[in-house]
Amino acid sequence: MGKIDIENLNLYYGEFHALRGVSLSAPERGITALIGPSGCGKSSLLKTVNRLNDLSEGCRVEGRVLLDGEDVYGGGMDIYTLRRRVGMVFQKPNPFPMSIYDNVAFGPRSHGVRARSVLDGIVEESLRRAVIWDEVKDRLAGSALRLSGGQQQRLCIARALAVRPETLLMDEPTSALDPISTAKIEELASELKKAYTIIIVTHNMQQAARVSDRTAFFLLGEVVELGDTSRIFTAPRDKRTEDYITGRFG
């Protein structure tokens, strides 16, 4: 059993069958990479884990998504608690138009933390973990929108860490960034996996190979192949996986 277990998941947007019988397990303190061409359902899968899909009109989910063995779609789990436990980093950095400090404090404040001294501690700790503290410690009151794209993305990671999640969902977190910023985020992901369970969606094969422990290859809403990253990239069992990772299509 992993930290996150997805069992026979089917997802529909109205009539459209976007995920077909997906089963996947993300091991604790490891990075699981989701790869596959655009539109194959990777983002949809991430959004079922923190139930952000609830926002999409006509979206229907069958099957089970388990966090520590508990079904997130079962009645027992409070959606706000779920989202606190499962952080998300988006494709395009989306800092709020407010100060760096307020960005990081947003989550804790949403969960009732008010004391300034406690918030100060959380903000510093989160920014340190996201390896951006040194760059912003002198301008915490400055607008987050004035940071560079790479800094904004690390700020968004810090913001997600501030609610002390157990897992992180990263949806192509570097696709809008330059190579140096990308390298920093990858390094950060490798560091964070010591404490968090991470699922990362990426279009970049090298990135999947570099940072992940497990890889799942998706095609048209189905998991074609799932396994240890080193094995998938050296000895793919499915012809379609081989074609994709060698760049013959996608």
Partner 1 sequence: MRAVFLAAACVCILCVAAICLFLLVNGLPAFGKIGPLKFLSGSVWRPGSGAYGIAPMILGSLYVTAGAIALGAPLGVLTGVYLARFCPRRARAAGRAAVNLLAGVPSVVYGFFGLVVLVPAASAVFGGSGKSMLTASVLLGLMILPTVISVTETSVRAVPEACYEGALALGATHERAVFFAVLPAARPGVTAGIALGVGRAIGEATAVVMVAGNQPVIPSGPLRGLRTLTANIVLEMGYAADLHRGALAATAVTLFVFTLAVNVLLALGRGKRPA
Site residue total, partner 1 (CB under 8 A): 29
Residues between 2 and 61 that touch ligand ADP (CB under 6 A): 13, 16, 18, 38-44, 56
Q: Find the binding residues for Mg ion in span 23-82 (CB under 5 A).
A: 43
The type of residue at 112 is G
Residues 202-221 that bind ligand ADP (CB under 6 A): none
The distance of closest approach from Cβ of residue 218 to ligand ADP in the complex, given in angstroms and rounded to an integer, is 7
The single residue listed with the structure tokens 């277990």 is 5
**Residue 40's binding partner, choosing from partner 1, Mg ion, ligand ADP, none, with beta-carbon cut-off 5 to 8 A by kind?**
ligand ADP
DSSP states along the chain: --SEEEEEEEEEETTEEEEEEEEEEE-TTSEEEEE-STTSSHHHHHHHHTTGGGGSTTEEEEEEEEETTEETTSTTS-HHHHHHHEEEE-SS----SSBHHHHHHHHHHHTT---HHHHHHHHHHHHHHTT-HHHHTT-TTSBGGGS-HHHHHHHHHHHHHTT--SEEEEESTTTTS-HHHHHHHHHHHHHHTTTSEEEEE-S-HHHHHHH-SEEEEEETTEEEEEEEHHHHHHS-SSHHHHHHHTTS--
* 43 versus 126: smaller Cβ distance to Mg ion: 43
Complex with partner 1: residue 162 or 245, whichever CB lies closer: 162
Tell me if 90 contacts partner 1 by CB under 8 A.
yes
Shortest distance, position 41 Cβ to Mg ion, whole Å: 8
Contact call for residue 81 and partner 1 (CB under 8 A): yes
With respect to ligand ADP, which residue has the nearer C-beta, 36 or 107?
36
Candidate list 2, 41, 107, 150; residue touching partner 1; CB under 8 A = 107
Which residues share a beta bridge with 61?
11
Candidate ranges 31-39, 138-146, 208-216, 228-236; the one touching partner 1 (CB under 8 A): 138-146
By CB under 5 A, name the binding residues for Mg ion. Answer: 43
Positions touching partner 1 (CB under 8 A) are 50, 52, 55, 80-84, 87-88, 90, 92, 94, 96-98, 106-107, 109-111, 143, 145-146, 156, 159-160, 162-163
